[in-house]
């Protein structure tokens, strides 16, 4: 069974494995398979679920809501997000304006079939809306009982510090940041994590397996599997293909004995690695089949010895991306979308 932990300095406990439905629900798998995967998560002891209004243009929230129907609401922690374009993509269908936040939370609650979410997250920083407007809207969402806590995703250290300051002034709790983080992508370590720890903010990380690269299924000198995520990426797009060099893939295969010595598969080892790091409260894992959930759950509670953590650093070496400026560099600039 998975373990639980506090989120930030709040009294909210979450499971350290979080079921996410970014690419799967209403997209890659049938609703029946999605429901079976959600139930497998519940059977494994996972009670924390993460989604977003933008996933499958709102449809993923609906699938998750139906899959959780009949469960005791108080026994679940439901997370969703707001920022990216939804609906027909009009000028007010995105961002962190008061209008978009208020309309988006209403839609998310309806689709999820609940009166409130435990955590409502700013899916990115919005450079087109004053931070005061955004945080006042979040304060009102909390006061109206539509969300219990507020979080953010992919914010820089300075943005997190500013957000926490406004949250305290307005009387609500901003307790989490949701960044990409894995043994290969460590851009949050130098600035975001130390700042977050100082401000009482936890990390709930996405892509702990580096979009599947750390699963070991991509082999050096071999074409990518036809049914893999990398096979779906269009030529010229960044992301997973940036990791698919023979040097990097060879290094990933060298991690396999480390995982085996701990009785873990490579995917389990990758998840356990992120959970071992300071400031990380949980890792978001998806699944296209119920058995994947059951396998991933075995990563919870695993203690990786310090010498093995050091060996991971030695093996991966300079293929690891550590540049803290990558968080800001990859942020969207909404101010230019409707100029």
Average pLDDT over residues 32-52: 96
Among residues of the chain, what percentage have pLDDT more than 70? Answer: 95
Given pLDDT bands bounded at 50, 70 and 90, which one contains residue 239?
A: low
* Structure-token pair, residue 171: 């009387």
In the chain, the number of structural domains is: 1
Residue 323 lies inside a defined structural domain of this protein = yes
Would you state the pLDDT for residue 303? Answer: 95
pLDDT value for 115: 98
Tell me whether residue 264 is in a domain: yes
Six-digit token pair at 81?
Answer: 């997000």
Tell me, yes or no, whether 156 lies in a domain.
Answer: yes
CB 93 within 8 A of CB 100: yes
Record the tokens describing residue 282, joined without a space. 């949980």
Residue 3 lies in a domain: no
As a whole number of angstroms, the distance between CA 61 and CA 59 comes to 5
pLDDT, position 105: 98
Q: Is the pLDDT assigned to residue 203 strictly greater than 60?
A: yes
Per-residue model confidence (pLDDT) at position 23: 78
Whether pLDDT at 29 is above 90 = no
Distance CA 302, CA 285 (A): 16
Which two structure tokens, joined as six digits, stand for 82?
């707001």
CATH number of the domain residue 136 falls in? 3.20.20.100
Quick one: average pLDDT of 147-153? 98
pLDDT on residue 58: 94
Encode pLDDT of 289-314 as tens digits. 999 999 999 999 999 999 999 999 99
Q: What are phi and psi of 42, to 5 degrees?
A: -60, -40
**For position 141, what pLDDT does the model report?**
98
* Residues 6 or more apart in contact with residue 46 via CB below 8 angstroms: 2, 15, 17, 18, 19, 293, 297
230, pLDDT greater than 70: no
Domain interval for residue 36: 13-336
pLDDT band at 56 (very low <50, low <70, confident <90, very high): very high
Query: Does 235 have pLDDT greater than 60?
Result: no
Of 22, 46, 34, 18, the closest CA to residue 288 belongs to 34
CB 105 within 8 A of CB 146: yes
CA 281 to chain centre: 11
H helical segments located in 130-199: 131-143, 157-170, 192-199
The whole-number pLDDT of residue 238 equals 54
The whole-angstrom separation of Cα 149 and Cα 324 is 27
Show the CA angle centred on residue 125, arms to residues 336 and 323, nearest 5°: 100
Q: What pLDDT is attached to residue 312?
A: 98
Distance CA 157, CA 194 (A): 8
Strand partners, 204: 282
Give the global pTM: 0.94
Q: How far is Cα 310 from Cα 304, in angstroms, rounded to an integer?
A: 10
**Active site positions, annotated:** 55
8 located within any domain = no
In a domain, 2, yes or no: no
Within 10 angstroms of residue 288's Cβ, the number of other Cβ atoms is 17
37 contacts: CB under 8 Å, gap ≥ 6: 19, 24, 29, 287, 288, 289, 290, 292, 293
Domain membership of residue 80 (yes or no) is yes
Model confidence at 137, in pLDDT bands (50, 70, 90)?
very high
Model confidence over 17-28: pLDDT tens digits? 999 998 787 688
Q: How many helices (H) and strands (E) does the chain have?
A: 13, 10
Would the pLDDT of 339 be above 70?
A: no
What's the mean per-residue pLDDT of the chain? Answer: 93
């Amino acid at each position: 069974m998975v373990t639980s932990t506090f989120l930030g300095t709040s009294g909210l406990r979450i499971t350290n494995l979080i079921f996410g439905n970014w690419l799967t629900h209403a997209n890659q798998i049938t609703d029946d398979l999605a429901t079976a995967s959600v139930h497998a998560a519940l059977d494994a002891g996972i009670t924390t679920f993460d989604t977003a209004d933008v996933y499958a243009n709102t449809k993923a929230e609906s699938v998750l809501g139906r899959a959780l129907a009949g469960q005791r609401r108080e026994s679940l922690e439901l997370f969703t997000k707001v920022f990216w374009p939804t609906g027909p993509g009009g000028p007010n269908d995105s961002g962190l304006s008061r209008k978009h936040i208020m309309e988006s939370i209403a839609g998310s609650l309806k689709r999820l079939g609940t009166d409130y979410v435990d955590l409502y997250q700013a899916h990115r920083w919005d450079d087109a809306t004053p931070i005061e407007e955004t945080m006042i809207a979040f304060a009102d969402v909390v006061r109206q009982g539509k969300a219990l806590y507020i979080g953010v995703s992919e914010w820089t250290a300075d943005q997190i510090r500013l957000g926490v300051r406004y949250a305290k002034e307005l009387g609500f709790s901003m307790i989490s940041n949701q960044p990409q983080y894995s043994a290969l992508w460590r851009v949050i370590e130098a600035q975001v994590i130390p700042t977050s720890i100082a401000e009482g903010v936890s990390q709930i990380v996405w892509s702990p397996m580096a979009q599947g690269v750390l699963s070991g299924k991509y082999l050096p000198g071999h074409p990518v599997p036809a049914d893999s995520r990398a096979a779906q990426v269009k030529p010229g797009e960044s992301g997973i293909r940036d990791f698919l060099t023979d040097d990097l893939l060879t290094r990933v295969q060298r991690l396999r004995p480390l995982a085996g010595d701990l009785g873990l598969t490579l995917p389990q080892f990758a998840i356990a690695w992120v959970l071992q790091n300071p400031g990380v409260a949980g890792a978001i894992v998806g699944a296209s089949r119920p058995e994947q959930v059951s396998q991933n759950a075995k990563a919870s509670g695993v203690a990786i010895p310090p010498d093995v953590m050091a060996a991971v650093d030695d093996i991966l070496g300079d293929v690891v991306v550590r540049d803290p400026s990558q968080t800001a560099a990859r942020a969207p600039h909404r101010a230019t979308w409707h100029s």
